[in-house]
A and B are shown apart, each in its own frame.
Chain A
Amino acid sequence: MSTPVMDKEERAAKAAADHLITATFRIRRFNPEISAEASWEDFRIEIDPKERVLDALHKIKWEVDGTLTFRRSCAHGICGSDAMRINGRNRLACKTLIKDLSPSKPISVEAIKGLTVLKDLIVDMDPFFQAYRDVMPFLVTSGNEPTRERHQTAEDRERFDDTTKCILCAACTSSCPVFWNDGQYFGPAAIVNAHRFIFDSRDEAAEQRLEILNDKDGVWRCRTTFNCTDACPRGIEVTKAIQEVKRALITRRF
């Protein structure tokens, strides 16, 4: 009597696993306490291809190797913690579906480039945020505080709408070959966030920000490679924003 029940359970178990595939995650590991060299390590796991790379990293960390180290916070593409280089392109692990990465081949996962790797997929973000701070990413005004909101027309708001979407994940800056070279270039993200205020009608420090970006490591180092636009997980037209800052500098001068 028990055999048919067993069969049914087995079938149920088999059906439950039917949607799973075996995928290989080739992860760039680095642990300075063990070795000065980074190396690739393969993890073969069973996973639903409709899951995201972040889910795979969780599965590996929680079930296979607890030493795997990476950042994530919101897990929903808002906080910008988990930008990494997946199959050679900068993306958010939490917004990248495994099925979109041709998982029949090994999926490579490594830290974003151009910033010092601290451990596994974690880089030192300080230089990135230093460049961000350098462009004064805050509202600067003079005169008395208004008692109500600072008004702005819908068109004025639209002017910089695209650059308000930045989540500071560093996918753009760490995809830029000029930033890779010596890391002194402000980088696309800092320029995007300067753009956010330069073109805000309520702000009064556009001149100062333009002056900062007019210097040696400012917008003129941009070579228009569009890597940043391709990398942005929020779909910001980064290269266009940079070019609008260049244009503002030129028209200010002539």
Chain B
Amino acid sequence: MATDTETTGAGIPTDDTAGYSPDSPAPVIEPPRARTARTPKSTRTNFELYGWLFMRLSGILLFVLVLYHLLIQLVLDGGVTKIGFAFVAGRWASPFWQTWDLVMLWLAMLHGGNGLRTIINDYAERDNTRMWLKMLLYTATVFTVLLGTLVIFTFDPDIR
């Protein structure tokens, strides 16, 4: 047991010089990439490859879909003020715009969802946090995609 509390490693201005010594060093931090029992096994699938490709391909499509969508909705023909129930009903009367919006919905949700998955993988530090955030993300994505699809297909312009 070290009884001498004076430290010899001079010159470091610290507010907390108590506690650690060669006999009781600071706690070891588990190094990353160390092989532990909890290290996931290699998956040998192409999931990340397809995810990466999908982000780029859907990005190209979204570029056209979203920009033109914003142009129609917010700029042309009097801008936002024209948007109302009648305007939406008018557009969804055409199968073309129904398909447009459906594709945009699915691509944007999957693209955005996969993008957020990447961000969660990057930033969540604990396995539990990561798991719950992803559950929340997947639930929200599935809910929004299904609800949106349902509305596009079952929209009734005569509803009252």
| A124, A181, A215, A249 interface centre (most CB from chain B within 10 Å) | A215
B33–A215 CB distance below 8 A: no
Q: Which of B101-160 contact A (CB under 8 A)?
A: 121-123, 125
Given the known inter-chain contacts A130-B34, A216-B40, please indicate yes or no for A35 contacting B10, CB distance below 8 A.
no
Chain B residues whose C-beta falls within 8 Å of the C-beta of A116 in the assembled complex: 29, 31
Chain B residues whose C-beta falls within 8 Å of the C-beta of A246 in the assembled complex: 52
Question: Smallest CB-CB separation from B10: which chain A residue?
Answer: A67
Given the known inter-chain contacts A214-B49, A246-B52, A253-B46, please indicate yes or no for A34 contacting B14, CB distance below 8 A.
yes
Is A131's beta carbon under 8 Å from chain B?
A: yes
B32–A184 CB distance below 8 A: yes
Count how many chain B residues have C-beta atoms less than 8 Å from C-beta atoms of the other chain: 38
Chain-B contact segment, one of A7-15, A25-33, A49-57, A198-206? A25-33
Whole-angstrom distance between the alpha carbons of A253 and B34 in the complex? 31
A35–B14 CB distance below 8 A: yes
B31-56 near A? 1/0 per residue, CB < 8 Å: 11111000010111011110111000
Given the known inter-chain contacts A178-B122, A212-B42, A215-B42, please indicate yes or no for A36 contacting B52, CB distance below 8 A.
no
Q: Which of B1-22 contact A (CB under 8 A)?
A: 7, 9-17, 19-22
A182–B26 CB distance below 8 A: no
Whole-angstrom distance between the alpha carbons of A35 and B29 in the complex? 15
Is A37's beta carbon under 8 Å from chain B?
A: yes
Given the known inter-chain contacts A37-B14, A214-B48, A214-B49, please indicate yes or no for A183 contacting B33, CB distance below 8 A.
yes
Chain A residues whose C-beta falls within 8 Å of the C-beta of B16 in the assembled complex: 35-37
A38-61 near B? 1/0 per residue, CB < 8 Å: 010100000000000000000000
Number of A-B contacts (CB under 8 A): 104
Count how many chain A residues have C-beta atoms less than 8 Å from C-beta atoms of the other chain: 38
Is B25's beta carbon under 8 Å from chain A?
A: yes
B34–A126 CB distance below 8 A: yes
Of A39, A216, A249, the residue contacting B13 (CB under 8 A) is A39
Chain B residues whose C-beta falls within 8 Å of the C-beta of A211 in the assembled complex: 44
B7–A34 CB distance below 8 A: yes
Whole-angstrom distance between the alpha carbons of A32 and B26 in the complex? 5
Chain A residues whose C-beta falls within 8 Å of the C-beta of B42 in the assembled complex: 212, 215-216
B51–A33 CB distance below 8 A: no
B122–A253 CB distance below 8 A: no
Whole-angstrom distance between the alpha carbons of A181 and B11 in the complex? 32
| A29, A33, A177, A221 interface centre (most CB from chain B within 10 Å) | A33
A184–B49 CB distance below 8 A: no
Chain A residues whose C-beta falls within 8 Å of the C-beta of B13 in the assembled complex: 39, 41
Give me the 5 closest cross-chain CB pairs, A-B, nearest first: A183-B32, A32-B26, A127-B33, A220-B48, A35-B14
Residue pairs across A and B with Cβ atoms less than 8 A apart, 23 shown, are A31-B12, A32-B25, A33-B9, A33-B20, A33-B22, A34-B9, A35-B15, A35-B17, A36-B19, A39-B13, A41-B13, A65-B11, A124-B31, A126-B34, A130-B35, A182-B121, A184-B33, A214-B48, A215-B42, A215-B44, A216-B43, A221-B121, A253-B49
User: What residues make up the interface of B, taking CB atoms closer than 8 Å to A?
Assistant: 7, 9-17, 19-22, 25-27, 29, 31-35, 40, 42-44, 46-49, 51-53, 121-123, 125
Beyond A37-B14, A220-B51, A253-B46, 16 extra complex contacts between A and B, CB < 8 Å: A29-B12, A33-B9, A34-B7, A34-B9, A34-B20, A36-B26, A37-B15, A67-B9, A115-B32, A124-B31, A130-B34, A131-B33, A177-B122, A183-B31, A216-B47, A218-B48
